[in-house]
Amino acid sequence: PCNVVVLISGSGSNLQALIDSLDEDNSPARIRAVVSNRAEAFGLQRAQAANIDTHVVQHKDFADREAFDAALMEIIDTYQPQLVVLAGFMRILTAGFVRHYQGRLLNIHPSLLPKYKGLDTHRRALDAGDREHGCSVHFVTEELDGGPVAIQACLKIEPNESIDKLTDRVHAAEHIIYPLAVHWFAEGRLRLATQGAMLDDMLLPATGHL
């Protein structure tokens, strides 16, 4: 199967969705390791409960981004992953890191990219009066949150919807689309091409309305 390393910083609910979706003996991928930049990330406990190797690489222990990313790469590469999955990993990665995993690095972002790159996406969608919001899985390139999108889930924002409710609904949608994208990749169906993200011979994104 496809060896996967997952990078997290926090709760790891997307990690949990991936663990649950890869539970079967004949699953197309195996999560070999979880790496966190924060020792207190709850996702580390989720990984340990699933018997997955865990590592903590704290950015504050390194002089600069290059040194931090080099340490990350060293650990990740011991697992020889075909795929590296960012699941709520809240550090900006260097160009060197991104190039090293070009075509095998996925991220999930809580907005309908290209809208709302960066932080505070739910607040920004509400403040703008948007009628739709959602989440996107994309290949990571050197442009922050700018790589080709593979799949998006689109939600209608309800009248007077609270930020907490919208955040929860987007999170639930993330837990559907991230496993889908990882399964596609592990099955050899999803790839990064010069035209963008491709599923079999179809140019993506695939957008589902939930």
CB of 175 to ligand GAR, least distance (A): 8
The DSSP 8-state label assigned to residue 163 in this structure reads: H
Binding mask 149-188 for ligand GAR (x = CB under 6 A): ----------------------x--x--------------
- For 37-170, strand residue ranges (E) read 53-56, 83-86, 105-109, 132-139, 149-156
| 108 binding ligand GAR? (CB under 6 A) | yes
Please list the residues that pair with 36 across neighbouring strands.
Answer: 8, 56
Strands 202-203 and 105-109: unpaired
Binding mask 53-92 for ligand GAR (x = CB under 6 A): ----------------------------------xx----
| 109 binding ligand GAR? (CB under 6 A) | yes
43 among the known binding-site residues?
Answer: no
Strands 190-193 and 149-156: unpaired
**Among residues 13 and 206, whose Cβ is nearest to ligand GAR?**
13
Q: Take residue 102 and report the two structure tokens written for it.
A: 């070009």
Q: 204 near 197, Cβ under 8 Å?
A: yes
**Would residue 59 show up in a list of annotated catalytic residues for this protein?**
no
Neighbours of 79 (CB within 10 A): 18
Number of residues that bind ligand GAR (CB under 6 A): 15
Query: Which residue is catalytic, options 109, 133, 175, 183?
Result: 109
- Scanning 72-80, 105-113, 182-190, 201-209 for contacts with ligand GAR by CB under 6 A, the matching segment is 105-113
Report how far apart the first and last C-alpha atoms of the chain are (Å, whole number).
Answer: 30
**Among residues 13 and 94, whose Cβ is nearest to ligand GAR?**
13
Annotated binding site: 12-14, 65, 90-93, 107
